[in-house]
């Protein structure tokens, strides 16, 4: 029997190095450089590439991947402990070769790509020579993949794609897109769509506009696909397997979002506590006011509960090696993630007053990001339904008018078990 809440000493040394490296070398870049996916920016080449080389030399590059793909095969628990640190900075994930959406796209390329597809796209993606874009959401259907209207039809030379995609992250910087399109409209709903690998410079791909949210740069593209032609071998996975391929990457993506959110929530909590100890009003510190103490206590408990849920889910993924068997846990983490960041960042904002509202603090952005997290990779409501359905599978309905736990029935069963013995004993005086 093993219940362990300790990090092994050897890996703790690596985490200590990651913490120092992130604090001293990476975090300053957030305030000086532009978009962390703009690989052609001379400043990215000058400042980020040397840091990536240090990470590689340390053996910490792309730790979410197995050794056969150039990673360390650390598994999800170690990755969670790393992401608790690097997730507090924009450039952290890309410096360590673990940035979304490329990490998830690399996973499905490794699993479903042909040899030719992996040679063309996978290794450059793993080496961060290029970045990628995952195109599923559409403007009319939101996150419901059954409502996809983008089509892929065959012709003499391959496939022709047509339709529109919404919130296609990093399309403006990507070298290739992974596009989900309907190939078999008359098939059952979850067998209608397939995935396609499409070079970004393919004629017919138009960025109608880029949109942002909160304080983020406008990098989420509204795409229009007009007679986009790709060869027959552009399909990723089998025909009609679009949903299966998507779920393969989304399971990991959801837990990784949660890992990085731990870092932001901890930063918000730390700043809340420092503020409470630093500011005085009505003759006493904020920290001495009971309503402030309540905010701090609630935040600490919620943070610790969430972190343990994430780590246990990561442990189950490592143990079972099957996202399907951890579906309930991943869904639970997914809908708990935005609430945690919203509540802790919101309390930190409130205790900082007008300064907290301003763009001189990150709290407004974190609150806005909590709504992004509530929508990305499926809205909160969908994941709550998933958890409820998965939980109820372990229960059975009562066939009787009154359930087995009905107290009169329970008392009668207790009397059947112990009644005769009780009659032989005198009550205690």
Model pLDDT for residues 132-152, shown as the tens digit of each residue: 999 999 998 876 788 899 999
Phi, psi of 263 (to 5 degrees): -65, -45
User: Quick one: pLDDT band at residue 70, thresholds 50, 70, 90?
Assistant: low
61 belongs to a structural domain? yes
Asked if residue 208 is part of any domain, the answer here is yes
Are 273 and 370 part of one and the same domain? yes
Residue 259, in any domain of the structure: yes
> Domain total for the chain?
3
pLDDT in tens, 317-328: 999 988 889 999
- The residues, ordered by sequence, that sit 6+ positions from 253 with a Cβ below 8 Å of its Cβ are 100, 101, 103, 104, 377
CB 380 within 8 A of CB 318: no
260/383 same-domain check = yes
Measured between alpha carbons, how far is residue 248 from residues 107, 240, 364, 377 in Å? Answer: 8, 15, 32, 12
Q: What is the pLDDT of residue 365?
A: 94
The Cα-based distances of 136 to 163, 177, 218, 226 in angstroms read 11, 10, 18, 16
Beta-carbon count within 10 A of 336 CB: 20
| Tokens of residue 378, six digits | 């499926």
97-134 pLDDT, tens digit per residue, is 999 899 889 989 988 999 999 999 999 999 999 999 99
> Residue 418 domain-assigned?
no
User: Residue 125 falls within a domain, yes or no?
Assistant: no
Strand, coil or helix: 115:
helix
- pLDDT reported for residue 343: 98
Return the structure tokens found at 267: 């930063």
Considering the domain boundaries, does residue 267 fall inside one? yes
Q: Are residues 193 and 252 in the same domain?
A: no
Q: Please, what is the end-to-end C-alpha distance for the chain in angstroms?
A: 45
Q: Is the pLDDT of residue 215 over 70?
A: no
Element (H, E) at 380: helix 380-392
At residue 372, the pLDDT reads 92
pLDDT of residue 4: 84
What is the domain extent for residue 56? 9-99
Return the pLDDT at 155.
87
Helices in 234-362 by DSSP H: which ranges?
242-278, 290-320, 327-351, 353-357
Residue 429 has pLDDT above 70, yes or no: no
Which of 77, 99, 121 marks a domain boundary? 99
186 and 64 in a single domain? The answer is no
Q: Is pLDDT above 90 for 348?
A: yes
Inside any domain, residue 117: no
> What's residue 141's pLDDT?
80
pLDDT surpassing 80 at residue 66: no
Q: Are residues 39 and 137 in the same domain?
A: no
Res 82: pLDDT: 95
Note whether residue 81 is domain-resident.
yes
pTM tops 0.85: yes
């Amino acid at each position: 029997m093993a219940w362990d809440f300790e990090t092994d000493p050897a890996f703790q040394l690596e985490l200590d190095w990651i913490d120092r490296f992130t604090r001293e070398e990476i975090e300053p870049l957030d305030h000086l450089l532009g978009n962390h996916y703009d690989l052609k920016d001379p400043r990215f080449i000058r400042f980020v590439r040397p840091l990536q080389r240090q990470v590689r030399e340390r053996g910490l590059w792309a730790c979410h991947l197995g050794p056969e793909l150039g990673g360390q095969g650390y598994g999800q628990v170690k990755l969670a402990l790393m992401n608790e640190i690097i997730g507090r900075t924009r450039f952290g994930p890309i410096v360590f070769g673990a940035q979304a959406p490329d990490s998830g796209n690399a996973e499905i390329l490794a699993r479903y790509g042909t040899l030719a597809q992996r040679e063309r796209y996978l290794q450059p993606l793993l080496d961060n020579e290029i970045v990628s874009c995952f195109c599923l959401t559409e403007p009319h259907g939101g996150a419901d993949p059954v409502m996809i209207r983008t089509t892929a039809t065959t012709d003499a030379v391959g496939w022709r794609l047509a339709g529109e995609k919404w919130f296609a992250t990093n399309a403006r910087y990507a070298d290739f897109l992974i596009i989900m399109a309907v190939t078999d409209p008359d098939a059952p709903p979850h067998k209608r769509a397939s995935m396609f690998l499409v070079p970004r410079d393919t004629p017919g791909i138009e960025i109608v506009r880029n949109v942002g949210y909160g304080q983020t740069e406008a990098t989420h593209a509204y795409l229009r696909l007009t007679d986009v032609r790709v060869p027959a071998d552009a399909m990723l996975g089998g025909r009609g397997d679009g949903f299966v391929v998507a779920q393969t990457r989304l399971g990991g993506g959801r837990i990784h979002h949660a890992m990085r959110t731990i870092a932001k929530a901890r930063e918000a909590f730390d700043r809340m506590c420092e503020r409470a100890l630093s500011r005085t009003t009505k003759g006493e510190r904020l920290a001495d006011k009971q309503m402030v103490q309540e905010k701090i206590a609630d935040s600490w408990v919620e943070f610790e509960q969430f972190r343990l849920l994430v780590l246990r889910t990561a442990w189950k993924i490592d143990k079972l090696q099957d996202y399907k068997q951890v579906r309930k846990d991943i869904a639970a983490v997914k809908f708990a993630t935005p609430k945690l960041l919203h509540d802790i960042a919101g309390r930190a904002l409130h205790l900082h007053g007008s300064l907290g509202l301003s763009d001189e603090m990150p709290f407004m952005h974190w609150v806005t990001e909590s709504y992004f997290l509530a929508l990305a990779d499926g809205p909160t409501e969908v994941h709550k339904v998933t958890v409820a359905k998965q939980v109820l599978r372990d229960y059975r309905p009562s066939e009787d008018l009154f359930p087995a736990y009905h107290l009169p029935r329970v008392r009668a069963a207790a009397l059947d078990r112990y009644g005769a013995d009780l009659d032989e004993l005198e009550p205690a005086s």
